[in-house]
Structure 1
Amino acid sequence: MQNMLTTKFEELQTPYKLGKPVLAGSGVAGAFDSAAVDCPFIFYHSDMFHMMYVGFDGTGYQTALATSTDLIHWKHKGTILERTASDRWDNVGCAGTWIIKDTDNLFDVPVLKKIDNRYWMIYHSYPDTGYEAGPAEIGFAWTEDETLLKWNRLDKPVFTWRDGAEWERGGLYKSCIVEHDNRFHMFYNAKNCEEAWTEQIGVATSRDLVHWERLDSNPVVRISENGWDSRFNSDPCVLRYKDKWLMFYFGYDCQHSQEGLAVSDDLIHWEKAESPIIPNGGPGDLDEIHAHKPAVVYHNGILYHFYTAVGNYREGVGTEKVINDFRCITVATSKRIQP
C-alpha cells in the first residue's frame, strides 16, 4: 500500500505545511472560541469558500462559519450552532462536522446539496461540560437560509451509542456522509468503554437520513496492533477519487496524532497506507503534538489538506489557557504557497 501511495496516488500528497494558523481561537473571555478552534469542513457557497468549524470555551463545542476567497485568509462569519439554555439533549454544545454535498468527487468544487429544499448538517453533542466529556450522540440540523446562519435542530438524536456494539458504547465522534447506490453512507468514529479507550471507524446506511442501519462488518477501519495508529482511527473524511473511494483520517499511538489515508472500492473494505501522509511536526512547530482531523479540497490544481494542529501552549499565543495546549486550524498543500 505504501508503494501505491507514492506512485499511483502521488497527487494526494501535501508535503508543504503552511506553518501558521488559518484560524485560531479568539482569546476573548466568554466567546465561543476563547480557548481553541477545531474540526474544519470546507465548501463553496455564494461565490465564497466557507469553513464550518467548532470553537471551544472550556464548557463545550459550538459551531461557526468563516469565509475566504483564496483558502488561506479566513474571516469569521458567525456562529450557527450555539449553546442553549434548555433541557435538550444537545444543550451543552454542538459540533457540526459535515453538510451534505452535491458531489463527493475530490476534483469537483464542493457545493452543498438541497434535500426537500433544505441543506442538512450532521453534528454531535457531548452530555457533560468540559472537553469532549461524556458519551456523545449524533443529530441533524437543517436550514433554508441561503446565508447558512440560521439552523434548525431536530428534537432527538438520529444515531446513538445506546444501541451500538461494544466498540462504540463509549460514545460517538465526528461523522461524514456520502451518497452511493441510492443510499446515504455515514462514516463515524466511536470509542469503547475502557478507561484507556480505543477509537475506530464504522459506517451506517440510510435512505431517509433518519433511520440508520449499521454494517455487520463494523468497524470497517480498525486500529493496528502496533505503529502510528495503534490507539485511534478517527475523524473520517470520505471522497471519491477516480474509480476509488478515499478516506482521510487520523491515527493516534498515545503520543501523537497524524493524518492517514485508506482506499476502498466499495465503501466497506478499506486498505490503509502504512505510514502517515501528514506527520506531526518537530519541537516548536505548530503541530508538534498532533496533526489531525482532516478536511481536503482541490482548487486550481492544488490539493489543500486542512487539519487541526496542536502544539504546546506558550504565553502569547492569544487564546485562553483552559486546556494544556494550543489548538488551531492550518493547512498543508500539494504545491508550495507563500503565506
Structure 2
Amino acid sequence: MATRNTKRRKDWILLLWPFAFFAATELLAQTPPVASLDQRPQPWVRRTKPILSARTTKQDWCRIVVDSPHVIHHDGRFYMWYLGTSEASRSNNIVMGYATSDDGLQWDEHPGNPVLTGDDVPWGQIIQTPFVIYDDGTKRFRMWFVSGDGVKHDAQRKIIGNDQKLGYATSVDGIKWDVHPEPLFPAGRSPSVTRVANAYRMWMGSRPKFDEITGGLYRNIYEFSSNDGLQWTRSKQPVLQPSGPAKSVVYPFVIRHANSWYMWYGCHIDGGRFELFCAKSTDGTKWNADHDRPAFPASKGKELFDSRYTSTPCIVQLPNRLLLYYSARDWQTEYIDAEGRKRHDGSSVYAQIGLAELTLKEE
C-alpha cells in the first residue's frame, strides 16, 4: 500500500510539473527588474490595462474623466482619492472620489462617491490635484488640494481667467472632509507635501506673478516651507523650469530615497504628447533635471491606454519597491458628453488611471 501511494504521488508531481513551471515562469516574467532611480528611462513594469477607467466604471459621476490619483498605504491597506466628472472633458465641475484596496491593484470604489465637490469648498468651485497624508499625531487624514473658479473663457474660447488656489482639509475617515474656510496660497497647481521633523516642505506649481492669467502656473515649480502646514512661505525663485524639449513642468511629486530627493513631474513635448520626467537633488532645493530623457514615457503604439499621456504621478514607497499611480490619455479624441452629444477634445481625455511597479536595488 505504501509503495502504491508513493507511486501515485510521483504521478501527480509529474502531471503538475509543467503547470508549476509555467506559473513560475509567468511570475518571473512579471517581476520588476532591480533598478536604480538614476536609469533613463526608469525600468518601471507597467500594467497593460488601467486600474480605474471612466469607460468601465459602474459609478455615474465619472463616466468621462477619471484622473489625478493620490494613493497612500496605511495600516496594511491602500487608500486612493481621485478626480472625475460625467459632464465634459474640460469641465470645471470636477469632483473627488474615494476607493480602497487590499493589494493596491484591485480597487473598491466608495458607493457614496463623490466625497468632495465644489459645494464643500466655501471659496472655490473645482477640485484639483489632491495630496493626502495620514497624521499619526492627530489621527487624521490631512489633504492639500487646489480649488477656485477654474478656467474661464470668453465667447471666442480665449482664456480670460484661471483661478487656482491652494486649499486644505482634514478627515477622520478619508470620506467626510472638513475644508479650511480660506485658501492657503493664491496661486497653486499640484502640491506635494512632506513632513521633515516638526516642519513641512512642499513643491508646487505657481505663478511668478499672482495676477497672471495663464502660462506661469505650468512653467514654474517652487519650493515652499511651513511650520504647521497652513502658513506657507514660497522660495524667491522657481526650483524647476522647462528646458530643451520640455515645454512645461507641472504635477510635481517628491520623495526622499537613499539620502537623495527625487521629483517626478510632467512635461508637454512635441507630437502632442505628455510624459513623466524625474529630477534629483541632494537637498530638495537645487535640482538636476534631464529633459532629453523621460523617466516614464508614454507607451509606444496608439492602441494602449497610456500611449499619449503619462501624467499626475503619485509614488507609494514600500519596502524595496515603489508603486507609481498615474493619469493616462490615449489617442481617442471623440467622446459623448452628459447631454448625449458627440464631442471632440484634440488632446484626448483623461479617462484612465494606470499603475507601474519598480523594485529598487540597495544604494
TM-score by length of 2: 0.73
> Structure 1: which amino acid aligns with 2:357?
T
2:251 maps to what in 1? 235
Three-state SS of the structure 1 residue aligned to 2:310 is strand
> Structure 2: which amino acid aligns with 1:214?
R
Deviation at 1:95, TM superposition (A): 2.4
1:82 pairs with 104, 117, 135, which one?
A: 117
Deviation at 1:315, TM superposition (A): 7.4
1:136 maps to what in 2? 164
* Runs (5+) with no aligned partner, structure 1: 1-5, 101-111, 162-171
> Alignment length, in residue pairs?
301
Q: CA RMSD in A?
A: 3.2
Q: Report the Cα distance in structure 1 between the residues aligned to 2:37 and 2:129, rounded to whole angstroms.
A: 33
Deviations 1:71-105 (A, max 9, x none): 2211212432123188x212x232252113xxxxx
Is 1:213 aligned to 2:213, yes or no?
no
Deviations 1:254-289 (A, max 9, x none): 521111111111111011134101111222221222
Three-state SS of the structure 2 residue aligned to 1:303 is strand
Higher helix share: 2
Q: Report the Cα distance in structure 2 between the residues aligned to 1:181 and 1:300, rounded to whole angstroms.
A: 22
Contact 2:41 2:296 in 1 (8 A): no
1:3 maps to what in 2? none
- Percent identity over the alignment? 21
Deviation at 1:206, TM superposition (A): 0.8
> Structure 2: which amino acid aligns with 1:119?
F
1:49 maps to what in 2? 78
Deviation at 1:291, TM superposition (A): 0.9
* Runs (5+) with no aligned partner, structure 2: 1-34, 154-158
Three-state SS of the structure 2 residue aligned to 1:84 is helix
Contact 1:14 1:332 in 2 (8 A): no
Which structure 2 residues correspond to residues 41-120 of structure 1 after superposition, within 5 A?
Answer: 41-57=70-86, 58=88, 59=91, 60-77=93-110, 78-84=113-119, 88-90=122-124, 92-100=125-133, 112-120=134-142
1:200 maps to what in 2? 220
Higher RCO, 1 vs 2 (CA within 8 Å, ≥6 residues apart): 1
Q: Report the Cα distance in structure 2 between the residues aligned to 1:15 and 1:184, rounded to whole angstroms.
A: 29
The farther-off stretch of 269-278 and 310-319 is: 310-319
2:52 maps to what in 1? 23
Deviation at 1:297, TM superposition (A): 2.1
TM-score by length of 1: 0.78
- CA change 1:191–1:331 in 2 (3 A) is farther
Q: Report the Cα distance in structure 2 between the residues aligned to 1:191 and 1:27, rounded to whole angstroms.
A: 37
2:190 maps to what in 1? 174
> Structure 2: which amino acid aligns with 1:186?
M
Which structure 2 residues correspond to residues 260-299 of structure 1 after superposition, within 5 A?
Answer: 260-273=277-290, 274-281=292-299, 282-299=301-318
Deviation at 1:176, TM superposition (A): 1.1
Deviation at 1:154, TM superposition (A): 0.8
Deviation at 1:25, TM superposition (A): 1.6
- CA change 1:149–1:244 in 2 (3 A) is same
1:154 maps to what in 2? 180
> Structure 2: which amino acid aligns with 1:53?
Y
Contact 1:233 1:251 in 2 (8 A): yes
Larger Rg: 2
Contact 2:240 2:287 in 1 (8 A): yes
Contact 1:245 1:265 in 2 (8 A): yes
Contact 2:67 2:84 in 1 (8 A): yes
1:109 maps to what in 2? none
